[in-house]
């Protein structure tokens, strides 16, 4: 099977329509602080209006199979379109492709029973509710290593009772549907199970919205306390003990969709830098004519393109039915670094303007810092890669699929 990253006519049609939508509706409002909420994201009422426009233009949930109301793009097609969306800081939420709904929808479409899809997935696809994935715990609980999870689900007849504490749960402040991971036994591989619960169920609360350094997703990053939440067994996702399996199915593609979006932010940063250095006169010529500036732009563009190729390759492997574990780890680490490089370069080349709030660069700079942490810290992905290199030997370097 040969690798071909050339977008099909259909994908190119989506891409160009997203580009036009972003240029017409999103970029002109990004720097207007009145369109933002208290956490530097787009106001929810305005988001609803823009989402309605995106839906009317069929630019909605491109990532989901058509049977669930999506457009059925493959992962390579998604790479092309997600990058285009996130050239605006508000893009992914408008097209219903933002984390964590994006990953939650994709995993529910893959592993939930049809009745669960009707109850838990459909309202997210329709944009009626938002969702969260609830895994990480405060020390000494689950973080990089989920095997030390302390939140428990204890079976009582046909229900499960949850006790424990979670934190950094993105979107929990506005989410209605939650995917929760909890310990159901001490078995090393099969000790964790996934569940679905609704915001309106009693037995849990949001203790606090954790203040962070960057702009926030809607609903923030919250700390949750579970003190007797009861979940009927019918709301268990997959089998008892399949929690880590569910997490792997969700997290692989979700990590890659982070990469696709972050590439858009990296590109946008370099676009802002390009526009400035093409105009700004310094020491008798345009900034762009100075060799030092050219090296900075060239280096950053090269890193973004390398990270983009790694993302496309991982996407292509997923499209072939491969888990692409190593490829996703490489892409996740490289894109996080390329985004930092791109936005840092852009701020530097914009001089004082880069440090101001007159462009979106400072927003992207603060947002970017999470990229080396979320969905697996870079060091953990390198550990995974190292294990693969050592275990696979020459096979790690094989050509082709
Ligand atoms: C903005 C943001 C949003 C998030 N959203 C969610 C969410 O929606 N749901 C959710 O469940 N979680 C979420 N998280 C949590 C995130 O997934 C965890 O932060 C991540 O898995 C790391 O876990 P930890 O913070 O406990 O770090 P730790 O496990 O304590 O690790 C700390 C650091 O140690 C290093 N390290 C760890 N293990 C190794 C190793 N084996 N080798 C070398 N170095 C290592 C890394 O540098 C790592 O950053 C979010 C986090 C952030 C910052």
Q: What kind and span of H or E run contains 16?
A: helix 9-21
Look at residue 4 in the predicted model and tell me its pLDDT: 87
* Same-domain status, 248 and 358: yes
Question: Which atom of ligand 1 has the smallest separation from the CA of 171?
Answer: 8
Q: What span, in angstroms and rounded, lies between the C-alpha atoms of 174 and 197?
A: 14
In this structure, the answer to whether residues 231 and 155 fall within a common structural domain is: yes
Question: Distance from the CA of 200 to the center of ligand 1, in angstroms?
Answer: 28
Give ligand 1 pocket residues (Cβ under 6 A): 100, 132-136, 143-144, 168-170, 221, 370, 373-375, 377, 379-380, 383
Q: Confirm whether 110 is domain-assigned.
A: no
Which residue, of 57, 83, 98, is where some domain finishes? Answer: 98
Same domain, 258 and 382: yes
Domain identity same for 211 and 317: no
DSSP letters for 131-162: EEEE---STTSSSS-GGG---EEEEETTEEEE
Q: Specify if 108 maps to a domain.
A: no
Domain boundary among the residues 98, 119, 151 is at 98
Q: Are residues 388 and 251 in the same domain?
A: yes
- From 374, 375, 385, mutation site for ligand 1 pocket: most ligand atoms within 8 A of C-beta: 374
Q: Which ligand 1 atom lies nearest to the CA of residue 142?
A: 26
User: Residue 271 domain-assigned?
Assistant: yes
Query: How close is the Cα of 137 to the center of ligand 1, in Å?
Result: 10
Q: Does the residue 107 lie in any domain? A: no
Residue 106 lies in a domain: no
225, 241, 257 — which closes off a domain? Answer: 241
* Residue 290 and residue 175 in one domain: no
In whole angstroms, give the CA distance from residue 314 to residue 322. 9
Q: What CATH number is attached to the domain comprising 82?
A: 1.10.540.10
- Indicate whether 311 and 361 sit together in one domain: yes
Supply the range of the domain harboring residue 271. 244-397
- Residues forming beta bridges with residue 255, ordered by sequence position: none
Identify the residue whose C-alpha is closest to ligand 1 atom 32: 144
Based on the domain organization, do 265 and 365 belong to the same domain?
Answer: yes
In a domain, 105, yes or no: no
Q: Are 120 and 177 in contact (CB under 8 A)?
A: yes
**What is this structure's pTM?**
0.97
- Which protein residue's CA is at the shortest distance from atom 41 of ligand 1? 380
d(CA 297, CA 233): 55
257 & 361 share domain: yes
Burial of 84 (C-beta count, 10 Å sphere; 0-12/13-18/19+): buried
Q: Of 152, 81, 137, 145, which is closest to residue 312 (Cα–Cα)?
A: 81
Residue 254 placed within a domain: yes
Question: In the structure encoding, which two tokens stand for residue 384, read together?
Answer: 């995974």
Q: State which of 140, 143, 333, 339 you would mutate to test the pocket of ligand 1, scoring each by most atoms of that ligand within 8 A of its C-beta.
A: 143
Residue whose Cα lies nearest atom 35 of ligand 1: it is 379
The dihedral through the CA atoms of 76, 80, 85, 87 has a sign that is positive
* Domain tally, the chain: 3
- Same structural domain, 292 and 335: yes
In a domain, 69, yes or no: yes
Atom of ligand 1 nearest to the CA of 181: 11
Residue of minimum CA distance from atom 33 in ligand 1: 377
Distance 380 CA to ligand 1 centre (A): 9
Query: Per-residue confidence of the chain (401 residues) as pLDDT tens digits?
Result: 688 899 999 999 999 999 999 999 999 999 999 999 999 999 999 999 999 999 999 999 999 999 999 999 999 999 999 999 999 999 999 999 999 999 999 999 999 999 999 999 999 999 999 999 999 999 999 999 999 999 999 999 999 999 999 999 999 999 999 999 999 999 999 999 999 999 999 999 999 999 999 999 999 999 999 999 999 999 999 999 999 999 999 999 999 999 999 999 999 999 999 999 999 999 999 999 999 999 999 999 999 999 999 999 999 999 999 999 999 999 999 999 999 999 999 999 999 999 999 999 999 999 999 999 999 999 999 999 999 999 999 999 988 76
* Together in a domain, 248 and 340: yes
Q: Are residues 152 and 266 in the same domain?
A: no
Distances in whole angstroms, Cα of residue 240 to Cα of each of 9, 155, 182, 390? 43, 11, 11, 32
């Amino acid at each position: 099977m040969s690798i071909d990253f050339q977008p099909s006519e259909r994908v190119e049609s989506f891409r160009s329509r997203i580009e036009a939508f972003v240029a017409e509706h999103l970029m002109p409002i990004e720097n207007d602080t009145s369109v933002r909420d208290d956490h530097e994201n787009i106001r929810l009422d305005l988001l609803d209006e823009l989402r309605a426009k995106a839906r009317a233009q069929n630019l909605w949930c491109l990532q989901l199979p058509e049977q669930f109301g999506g457009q059925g793009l493959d992962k390579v097609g998604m790479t092309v379109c997600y990058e285009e969306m996130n050239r605006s800081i508000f893009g992914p939420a408008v097209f219903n492709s933002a984390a964590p709904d994006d990953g939650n929808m994709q995993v529910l479409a893959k592993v939930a029973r049809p009745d669960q899809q009707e109850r838990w997935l459909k309202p997210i696809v329709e944009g009626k509710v938002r969702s969260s994935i609830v895994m990480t715990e405060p020390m000494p609980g689950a973080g990089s290593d989920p095997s030390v999870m302390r939140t428990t689900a204890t079976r009582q007849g046909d229900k499960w009772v949850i006790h424990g504490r979670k934190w950094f749960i993105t979107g929990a402040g506005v989410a209605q549907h939650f995917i929760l991971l909890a310990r159901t036994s001490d078995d090393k591989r099969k000790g964790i199970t996934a569940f679905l619960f609704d915001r309106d169920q009693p037995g849990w609360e949001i203790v606090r919205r954790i203040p962070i350094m960057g702009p926030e997703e809607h609903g923030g990053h919250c700390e949750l306390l579970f003190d007797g939440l009861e979940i009927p067994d019918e709301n268990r996702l997959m089998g008892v003990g399949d929690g880590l399996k569910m997490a792997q199915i969700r997290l692989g593609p979700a990590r890659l969709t982070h990469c696709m979006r972050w590439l858009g932010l990296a590109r946008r940063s370099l676009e802002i830098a390009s526009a400035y250095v093409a105009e700004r006169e310094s020491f008798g010529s345009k900034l762009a004519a100075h060799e030092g500036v050219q090296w900075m732009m060239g280096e950053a563009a090269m890193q973004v393109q390398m990270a983009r190729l790694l993302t496309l390759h991982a996407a292509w492997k997923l499209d072939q039915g491969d888990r692409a574990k190593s490829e996703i780890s490489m892409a996740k680490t490289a894109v996080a670094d390329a985004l930092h490089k791109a936005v840092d370069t852009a701020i530097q080349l914009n001089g004082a303007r880069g440090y101001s709030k007159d462009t979106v660069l400072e927003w992207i700079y603060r947002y970017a810092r999470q990229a080396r942490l979320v969905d697996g810290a870079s060091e953990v992905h390198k550990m995974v890669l190292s294990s693969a290199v050592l275990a696979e030997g020459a096979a790690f370097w094989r050509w082709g699929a």
